[in-house]
Structure 1
């Protein structure tokens, strides 16, 4: 379930409480008159089943509560209440299938912002992957995949396409482009430094690499895996199964492909550089396509559930 905490102007409290009471799947309503100081108003709290949460948030924004007051939403990890159980039973659909679009937009906005932390993780992940490429070490490659932060901007692009949010799309694409360009440039310099220290060598890159050779040789399986990973990653962001995102992160060769391109570039290996870039672009495109399709299907399902909820309210 979700917990909502709202600051409501006194003249709108009755309307907000009435809306909560008429929404299927809500319970535990609390009103604290005059408790809020900034902005001044009443504090209204309630719990709502996740599958009814997006509809309630939509109606609260129709009341312009996000402008004249505030709406805070928290996930409830544990709720021991028969009323809460009944609220979840009354709400149409399953909580695991529900998409809180406002929450998704906020999450993708934060994860797709070009920041020092984002760039730091991107550079570090690519350098780790470079070590894995040269040493033909699959463990380092997996570690680099897990560290890479690129799925945030990818999810931002998918969300922007479905929600028709051009600003989010531009922000996400800028983060992706600058992130990978900076990572490849920095890792190229890192490779040259490691070569100067006699830790990297061209023979190590050109030698047999049974564990990591696939990184710069895209094939149909690369496309299939990227499509599946994009769908799985999107589902992990929109549902309560966020732990699955780690599995997605270590299944697609985006950061390793960038690392291989950088190391190959430092040695003038044009063939490997272009092969790695092709692998990178293929994976990025496949993730965006499958993620967008997954979100579009979820949006269609959400609209169907929303229609059921409205019909239930009219019958009630």
Structure 2
């Protein structure tokens, strides 16, 4: 087995509320570098760690993480809808391997995913059906959230299990870094909102469009400076990237849930996907980063990063 990893931020505001052309060009250059890296590595399987934004996972049952043996994308924010090309045999093998290594992994035989999963597949491979994939949901929004040490354990166990597959495996982390978009919370929510967060009622097309427009407007407000959202935190973001670059992943075990939220915003816990992906890589080989890009992009309400390693 040979392995590599990519960390890639996502944002539903890409293409809808874009920054200045020079920033877009810098992001495009970093993505082109990552695409060339992936093309040269030529993976046979992608293990994709990504969050959900109350499109597939709800409070009726909210696991800390879950591996899919089948997955379907909802197509939010203009992302591609339809089935992902899940490698069912590999998914089952990785699930059993994680369980055998002491990680209490939940498995979904029909997972619903959103732009957090879809964007990296679209960006790096041109679509959700172009590459055999094992999707792994990592909760980064819905409280209560567990310790980061369990996310590192998840990534380590899946990486060790992947080493038995005799494939070129790309571990892909989608999300983060620091950002605090207008995501609903259960505590204190009005009854109608609380019911939707618990039961998982899918919105009508009109409701989805209205909700997505609120997010776009929030990006415009944030870029204009008129917002109460927790600011993007480049210092925290780059500290995370420093730890990943040095391979000091055990340091994440000391990061508390409250501190991460204070530093990285309400959705800053999406960095758990990066930690899982690079923990998987570290479980198979001593790695080094080949590229690292970071830019705070208010228009996307995101500390946006791209990194590759093997």
Shorter chain as denominator, the TM-score bin is under 0.3
Q: Which has the higher helix share?
A: 1
Using the size of structure 1 for normalisation, the TM-score is: 0.19
Higher relative contact order (CA 8 A, sep 6+): 2
**Rg larger for:** 1
Using the size of structure 2 for normalisation, the TM-score is: 0.19
